[in-house]
């Protein structure tokens, strides 16, 4: 499964000019391009999986071979399901960009920051709020 950084190998990091306004049109376009490329890559992976499963689907007479194939397909489908959820999150993030609501923490409203967004374009929390979220989650799980 490609990790979250796979799609980010093909972009130039954004270097803001001195005094440049945060989340201006140029920056929003930069992140839209990253998100569309990431989404496209995930969609290609879905297509490859469907194709692979069609090509490899066999009715093996040996139960062990059949079980191995079913396990392989099950793993691929779980991965695709996670990616499907990620695609929805990418689409939601693109909507935020289009409505000029991108780049600000959902909890406290501060700027998330260009570098953090390049590392995780779907981030909706600043690093401080995300850290607090993770601490609370750990405490609940005990």
The ranges assigned to domains in the chain are: 22-102, 103-142
Q: From 1.20.1070.10, 1.20.120.910, 3.40.50.360, 3.40.50.720, which CATH number describes the 22-102 domain?
A: 1.20.120.910
The pLDDT score that the predictor gives to residue 49 is: 77
The pLDDT score that the predictor gives to residue 61 is: 75
Cβ atoms within 10 Å of 126's Cβ, excluding its own: 20
Residue 28 CB-half CA count within 13 A: 16
DSSP assignment letter at 15: -
What are residue 102's phi and psi, to 5 degrees?
A: -95, 145
Alpha helices in 12-125 (DSSP H): 25-56, 63-98, 114-119
CA distances from 16 to 23, 33, 116 (A): 10, 16, 14
SS3 for 60?
A: coil
The pLDDT score that the predictor gives to residue 46 is: 80
In angstroms, rounded to a whole number, what is the distance separating the alpha carbons of residues 52 and 55? 5
The pLDDT score that the predictor gives to residue 2 is: 38
Walk along the chain (142 residues) and give the pLDDT tens digit of each residue.
334 444 456 788 999 999 999 999 999 999 999 999 999 999 988 877 777 676 666 667 777 877 787 788 788 888 888 999 999 999 999 999 999 999 999 999 999 999 999 999 999 999 999 999 999 999 998 7
Model-wide pTM > 0.75:
yes
């Amino acid at each position: 499964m490609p990790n979250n950084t796979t799609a980010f190998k093909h972009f130039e990091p954004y270097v803001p000019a001195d005094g440049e306004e945060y989340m201006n049109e140029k920056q929003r376009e930069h992140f839209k391009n990253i998100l569309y490329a990431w989404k496209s890559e995930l969609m290609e992976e879905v297509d490859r999986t469907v194709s692979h499963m069609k090509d490899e689907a066999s009715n093996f007479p040996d139960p062990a071979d059949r079980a191995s194939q079913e396990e392989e397909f099950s793993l691929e489908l779980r991965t695709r399901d996670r990616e499907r959820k990620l695609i929805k999150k990418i689409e939601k993030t693109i909507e935020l960009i289009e409505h000029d609501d991108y780049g600000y923490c959902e909890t406290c409203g501060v700027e998330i920051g260009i570098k953090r967004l390049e590392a995780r374009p779907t981030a909706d929390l600043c690093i401080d709020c995300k850290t607090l979220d993770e601490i609370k989650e750990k405490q609940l799980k005990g």
